[in-house]
Amino acid sequence: MTTYLAFLRAINLGRTRVFPKAAIVAATEAAGFGGVTTHLNTGNVRLQSTMRSPTRVAQALERAYRADRGFDVPTIVFSADEFARIARDAQELSAERPGLARHYVYLLAEELSPAAAGEVEATSGEAGEMIVRGRAAHALLRPGYQDGVVDPLRAAKLLGTATNRNLSVVTALAERWCAQR
């Protein structure tokens, strides 16, 4: 069995896209996945499967969630090893830049082409820096950026299907879920 981490995008935003943790667990188990657990109510799911492809796992989850909820739930899936690398990269990037105001990690459904990654990184400016590594794009925000602005570097539209988590959530999930397999 392979351990995967799945990240659901655009749930629990208002009344029409509600997907409580218990319902996520039930729908994931009904789709045939084992070892299912969630973290917070923001669509962080740990599961196990005999499937070898994160893409196939994502497709199966999206079908199950659509059937359960009646709306599309874009789902981004990583193996535990891949997510652990993302968390290590995030911690290194933050450590190399002391004094960051915020660090968001955009989790990408697909790796960006070199040209697209270059476009994303070119959005860096006074507010902060965007760095792309594999299927993650890091928004490293400096003090003085506009707190409360969802995408201060205006890079999100260049990422394709993605969802973000802050550094503390990425670190906590890697410690909690990637070590136990």
Q: What is the pLDDT of residues 62-82, one digit of tens each?
A: 999 999 999 999 999 999 999
Q: How far apart are CA 17 and CA 69, in angstroms?
A: 8
Q: What is the number of domains present in the chain? A: 2
Q: What is the pLDDT of residues 97-138, one digit of tens each?
A: 999 999 999 999 999 999 999 999 999 999 999 999 999 999
Same-domain check for residues 75 and 88: no
Same-domain check for residues 171 and 121: yes
Q: Which has more pLDDT, 11 or 21? A: 21
CATH classification at residue 39? 3.30.70.1280
Q: Which of 79, 100, 131 marks a domain boundary?
A: 79
Contact 4, 54 (CB under 8 A): yes
Q: Which of 28, 61, 79 marks a domain boundary?
A: 79
Same-domain check for residues 13 and 87: no
Same-domain check for residues 88 and 170: yes
Same-domain check for residues 118 and 171: yes
Q: Which of 79, 108, 136 marks a domain boundary?
A: 79
- DSSP secondary structure string for all residues of the chain: -EEEEEEE-S-SSSSSS---HHHHHHHHHHTT-EEEEEETTTTEEEEEES---HHHHHHHHHHHHHHHHSS---EEEEEHHHHHHHHHHHHHHHHTSTT-SEEEEEEESSPPPHHHHHHHHTT-BTTEEEEEETTEEEEEEPTTS-TT-S-TTS-GGGSSSEEEEEHHHHHHHIIIIIS--
Give residue 155's identity as a one-letter amino acid code. A
Same-domain check for residues 61 and 144: no
Same-domain check for residues 87 and 157: yes
Q: How confident is the model at residue 144 (pLDDT cuts 50, 70, 90)?
A: confident
Same-domain check for residues 89 and 37: no
Q: What is the pLDDT of residues 25-70, one digit of tens each?
A: 999 999 999 999 999 777 899 999 999 999 999 999 999 999 999 9
Same-domain check for residues 101 and 44: no
Same-domain check for residues 14 and 67: yes
Q: Is the pLDDT of residue 149 over 90?
A: no
Q: Is the pLDDT of residue 180 over 70?
A: no
User: For residue 62, what are the domain limits?
Assistant: 2-79
Across the chain, mean pLDDT equals: 93
pTM: 0.94
